[in-house]
């Protein structure tokens, strides 16, 4: 980071903590002592914080222009969901069942070595029926009955493409703009640039929920929410499905909240004394971070407490909503996080790598996520939050039209396909009901309006009030950008 910016940020933060932060800690304690744990902290203090100063301020100059979305919820379907079976409707393919993919379509393009040895490439039409939905009439597969109900909110891109053909590099690419580990993830870029509205919760929160046992669970990598070359404090904080929701949130056994408060009072006093001797501002920061930690011990359990959610809301999300660690649970928490001013929430759902048994496994993947995804968007809308929240859905690449391995009308598999896949965006800044980009009859090549992963990321930044070309961080001599070295373009057609 530029040292002066760093200095400026730290000074702002320190002033805030010097004047306001400790008082906030006091307030927190007051709330607890009065028996009003939780609620007051988030309501009153969050408001106080936004007027008085922020723990996670934006860097100077950001946002570049008025943002359409203040927060983002990024739903990453890890493993690469099949575009042909979900979004890219190709009714003509039925006639091509088990016929060889025309050579003119495949055009000697690179194949993954999992199928490059196949003697033939038989076309596998989707087993699923598609129907038009909403006022916009977007075609959606029957396997996504709930998402189908929100298509008027969605801008669907059918022509996303990427550089990588395997999971590890492709996941790294879609999240960091580079196939090689070491770059900053999109979430850490946003939390670095924009900070957070919340003083009690991290700016960037990540979920890695459970997934169906039929799913082919590809790996996740912490670099997908890592800070890369950005300072490590911008790394996404995992809200965990088992154990403490935030690491080490709970006091040790036998240590109660008053024990902890009592100890912190003594600790603060001794640290303030140390500051009196050495004058090192880092000591003040440390005091304030211990207070923030203490507040998180209340704010996080309050966050995960669904007892005040209405029955209608819970029902909308589905049966799994209270099962900690499920995608549905993570989805409702995502809304609660955004409500509390968290800048970036990322859900990374695994199991979408259907090399075989695609129809059954894909259906299970959708059963695990479809209702919750739709509920999340509707819930945000009902609360007036959708206008200021960008929701993104997608995977790391697409899947081949031809079958990998055995082909039957009701059973087939699909290999990796980087040349086109589908992603969608909804909410803040997005023109709902849009369908953008066109692929050929085999969903094998983009024929109209290609959108590179970097273009999509540029568009996401645009919604968040950031000009991707100007959003840089100096590292190893380069002005690093999320969108990389090659030119990237905001896809204006997706924006309201």
Secondary structure class of 252 (helix, strand, coil): coil
Q: Is 269 in the site for another protein (CB under 8 A)?
A: yes
For another protein, the closer CB: 33 or 478: 478
For another protein, the closer CB: 103 or 486: 486
For another protein, the closer CB: 4 or 311: 4
Residue 131 tokens read as: 């129907």
Q: Cα–Cα distance between 194 and 42 in angstroms, integer?
A: 20
Contact 399, 412 (CB under 8 A): no
Residues 144-173 that bind another protein (CB under 8 A): 165-168
Q: Furthest-apart CA pair in the chain: how many Å?
A: 82
Contact 203, 342 (CB under 8 A): yes
Q: Is 455 in the site for another protein (CB under 8 A)?
A: no
Identify the CA nearest to 396 among candidates 160, 101, 208. Answer: 160
Which residues fall within 8 angstroms of residue 459, CB to CB, at 6 or more apart? 425, 490, 491, 494, 495
Give the nearest distance from C-beta 232 to another protein in angstroms: 5
Q: Is 180 in the site for another protein (CB under 8 A)?
A: yes
For another protein, the closer CB: 194 or 239: 239
For another protein, the closer CB: 87 or 412: 412
Q: Is 61 in the site for another protein (CB under 8 A)?
A: yes
- Select from 21-29, 34-42, 440-448, 469-477 the region that touches another protein (CB under 8 A): 469-477
Count of residues that bind another protein according to CB under 8 A:
98
User: What DSSP assignment string belongs to 424-465?
Assistant: EEEETTB-TTEEE-EE-TTS-SEEE--EEHHHHHHHHHHHTT
Q: Is 47 in the site for another protein (CB under 8 A)?
A: no
Q: Is 249 in the site for another protein (CB under 8 A)?
A: yes
Give the nearest distance from C-beta 171 to another protein in angstroms: 10
- Select from 101-109, 250-258, 336-344, 385-393 the region that touches another protein (CB under 8 A): 250-258
For another protein, the closer CB: 133 or 349: 349
Identify the CA nearest to 288 among candidates 75, 34, 54, 42. Answer: 54
CA 155 vs. chain centroid, Å, equals 17
- Select from 310-318, 368-376, 424-432, 462-470 the region that touches another protein (CB under 8 A): 462-470
Out of 50, 485, 489, 496, which residue is the one contacting another protein (CB under 8 A)?
Answer: 485
Out of 242, 310, 384, 410, which residue is the one contacting another protein (CB under 8 A)?
Answer: 242
Dihedral of alpha carbons 106, 111, 113, 115, sign: negative
- Select from 151-159, 238-246, 307-315, 422-430 the region that touches another protein (CB under 8 A): 238-246
For another protein, the closer CB: 190 or 425: 190
- Select from 231-239, 309-317, 391-399, 455-463 the region that touches another protein (CB under 8 A): 231-239
For another protein, the closer CB: 109 or 382: 109
Residues 319-378 that bind another protein (CB under 8 A): 356
Q: Is 384 left (phi over 0), alpha (psi -120 to 50) or beta?
A: left
User: What DSSP assignment string belongs to 148-201?
Assistant: GGGGGGEEEEEEEE-S--SHHHHHHHHHHS-SSTTSPPHHHHHHHHH--S-SSS
Residues 101-120 that bind another protein (CB under 8 A): 110, 112-114, 117
Q: Is 250 in the site for another protein (CB under 8 A)?
A: yes
Contact 224, 173 (CB under 8 A): no
For another protein, the closer CB: 255 or 496: 255
Residues 401-430 that bind another protein (CB under 8 A): 405-406, 415-416
Out of 39, 99, 383, 474, which residue is the one contacting another protein (CB under 8 A)?
Answer: 474
Q: Is 100 in the site for another protein (CB under 8 A)?
A: no
- The CB-based long-range contact list for 4-8 (8 Å cut-off, 24+ gap) reads 5/59, 5/60, 8/60
Q: Cα–Cα distance between 473 and 97 in angstroms, integer?
A: 50
- Select from 18-26, 227-235, 386-394, 421-429 the region that touches another protein (CB under 8 A): 227-235
Q: Is 293 in the site for another protein (CB under 8 A)?
A: yes
For another protein, the closer CB: 485 or 496: 485
CA 334 vs. chain centroid, Å, equals 9
Contact 359, 366 (CB under 8 A): no
Give the nearest distance from C-beta 477 to another protein in angstroms: 3
Q: What b/e string do you get for 26-65 counting C-beta neighbours within 10 Å, with b at 16 or more?
A: ebbbebbeeeeebebbbeebbeebeeebbbbbbbeebbbe
Out of 51, 108, 307, 476, which residue is the one contacting another protein (CB under 8 A)?
Answer: 476
Residue 311 tokens read as: 């029955």
Out of 26, 92, 182, 409, which residue is the one contacting another protein (CB under 8 A)?
Answer: 182
Out of 40, 214, 274, 438, which residue is the one contacting another protein (CB under 8 A)?
Answer: 274
Residue 361's Cβ-count burial label (10 Å; 0-12, 13-18, 19+) is: buried
Q: Is 12 in the site for another protein (CB under 8 A)?
A: no
Give the nearest distance from C-beta 23 to another protein in angstroms: 17
Residue 69's Cβ-count burial label (10 Å; 0-12, 13-18, 19+) is: buried
């Amino acid at each position: 980071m530029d040292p002066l910016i760093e200095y400026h940020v730290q000074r702002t933060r320190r002033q805030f903590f010097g004047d306001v932060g400790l008082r906030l800690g006091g307030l927190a304690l007051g709330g607890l002592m009065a028996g009003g744990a939780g609620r007051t902290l988030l309501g009153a203090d969050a408001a106080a914080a936004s007027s008085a100063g922020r723990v996670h301020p934006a860097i100077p100059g950001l946002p570049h222009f008025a943002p359409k979305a203040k927060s983002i919820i990024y739903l990453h379907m890890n493993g690469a969901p099949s575009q042909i079976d979900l979004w890219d409707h190709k009714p003509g393919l039925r006639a091509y069942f088990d016929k060889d993919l025309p050579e003119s379509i495949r055009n000697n393009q690179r194949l993954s070595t999992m199928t490059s040895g196949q003697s033939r490439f038989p076309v596998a039409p989707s087993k699923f029926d598609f129907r038009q939905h909403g006022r916009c009439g977007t075609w959606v597969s029957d396997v996504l009955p709930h998402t189908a109900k929100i298509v008027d909110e969605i801008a669907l891109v059918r022509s996303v493409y990427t550089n990588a053909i395997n999971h590890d590099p492709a996941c790294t690419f879609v999240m960091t703009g580079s196939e090689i580990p070491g770059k900053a993830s999109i979430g850490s870029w946003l939390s670095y640039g924009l900070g957070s509205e919340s003083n009690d919760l991290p700016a960037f929160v990540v979920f890695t929920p459970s997934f169906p046992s039929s799913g082919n669970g590809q790996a996740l990598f912490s670099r997908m929410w890592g800070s890369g070359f950005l300072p490590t404090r911008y790394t996404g904080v995992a809200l965990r499905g088992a154990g403490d929701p935030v690491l080490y949130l709970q006091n040790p056994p036998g240590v109660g909240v008053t024990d902890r408060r009592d100890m912190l009072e003594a600790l603060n006093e001794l640290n303030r004394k140390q500051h009196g001797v050495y004058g090192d501002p880092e000591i003040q920061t440390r005091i304030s971070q211990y207070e923030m930690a203490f507040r998180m011990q209340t704010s996080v359990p309050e966050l995960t407490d669904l007892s005040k959610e209405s029955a209608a809301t819970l029902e909308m999300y589905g049966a799994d909503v209270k099962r900690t660690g499920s995608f549905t649970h993570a989805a409702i928490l995502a809304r609660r996080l955004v409500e509390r001013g968290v800048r970036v929430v990322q859900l990374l759902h695994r199991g979408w790598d259907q090399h075989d048994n695609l129809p059954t496994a894909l259906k299970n993947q959708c059963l695990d996520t479809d209702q919750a995804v739709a509920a999340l968007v509707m819930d945000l809308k009902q609360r007036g939050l959708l206008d200021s929240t960008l929701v993104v859905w997608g995977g790391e690449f697409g899947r081949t039209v031809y079958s990998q391995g055995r082909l039957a009308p009701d059973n087939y598999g699909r290999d990796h396909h980087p040349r086109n896949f589908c992603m969608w965006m909804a909410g803040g800044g997005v023109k709902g009901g849009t369908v953008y980009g066109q692929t050929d009859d085999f969903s094998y090549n983009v024929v109209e309006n290609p959108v590179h992963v970097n273009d999509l990321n540029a568009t996401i930044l645009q919604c968040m009030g950031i000009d991707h070309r100007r959003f840089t961080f100096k590292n190893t001599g380069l002005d690093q950008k999320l969108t990389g070295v090659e030119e990237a373009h905001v896809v204006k057609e997706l924006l309201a």
